[in-house]
């Protein structure tokens, strides 16, 4: 069975702090895809990153960085020098590679509050 766990329900930080959002996944597939999405109060899920299971390179995009470790089944997301605009719910998701099993399996999300 596939599962995504985001153990942190809520995180509150002060602006300019660094914050890491944890994501642990379970899957029996050897090929799979991991995603992070951001959901601001408006409700729309905004795509942040996709990572293939065969590519363990970490990625940095501006203030955002992602650490993918297959050995620990984790795909953690770090925001450096957080800003108030980063306040949102962040979701980690998993998708199998197998043809018909295309649905996204979601974590329950981490609500991030960045305070001025």
Partner 1 sequence: KAGVTQTPRYLIKTRGQQVTLSCSPISGHRSVSWYQQTPGQGLQFLFEYFSETQRNKGNFPGRFSGRQFSNSRSEMNVSTLELGDSALYLCASSTSGTGTNTEAFFGQGTRLTVV
Residue 96 is a binding residue for partner 1 (CB under 8 A) = yes
Alpha helices, DSSP H only, in 66-106?
Answer: none
Site for partner 1 in 37-66 (CB under 8 A): 37, 42-47, 50, 52
Report the residue from 33, 67, 73, 113 that binds partner 1 according to the rule CB under 8 A. Answer: 33
Task: Kindly provide the residue ranges of all beta strands, DSSP E only, lying in the chain, ordered along the sequence.
Answer: 3-5, 10-14, 19-21, 24-26, 32-39, 46-52, 59-61, 64-69, 74-79, 88-96, 104-106, 110-115
Place of tokens 């470790």: 69
Q: Does 12 bind partner 1 (CB under 8 A)?
A: no
Q: Is 34 in the site for partner 1 (CB under 8 A)?
A: no
Nearer to partner 1, 61 or 100 (CB): 100
Residues that bind partner 1 (CB under 8 A): 33, 35, 37, 42-47, 50, 52, 91, 93, 95-109
């Amino acid at each position: 069975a596939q599962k995504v766990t985001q153990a942190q329900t809520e995180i509150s930080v002060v602006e300019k702090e660094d914050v890491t959002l944890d994501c642990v996944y379970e899957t029996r597939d050897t090929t799979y895809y991991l995603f992070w999405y951001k959901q601001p109060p408006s409700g729309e899920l905004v795509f942040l990153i996709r990572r293939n299971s065969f590519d363990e390179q970490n990625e940095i995009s501006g203030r955002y960085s992602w650490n993918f470790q297959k050995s620990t089944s984790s795909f953690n997301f770090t925001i450096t020098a957080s800003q108030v605009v980063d306040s949102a719910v962040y979701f980690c998701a998993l998708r199998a590679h197998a043809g018909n099993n295309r649905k996204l399996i979601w974590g329950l999300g981490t609500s991030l509050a960045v305070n001025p």
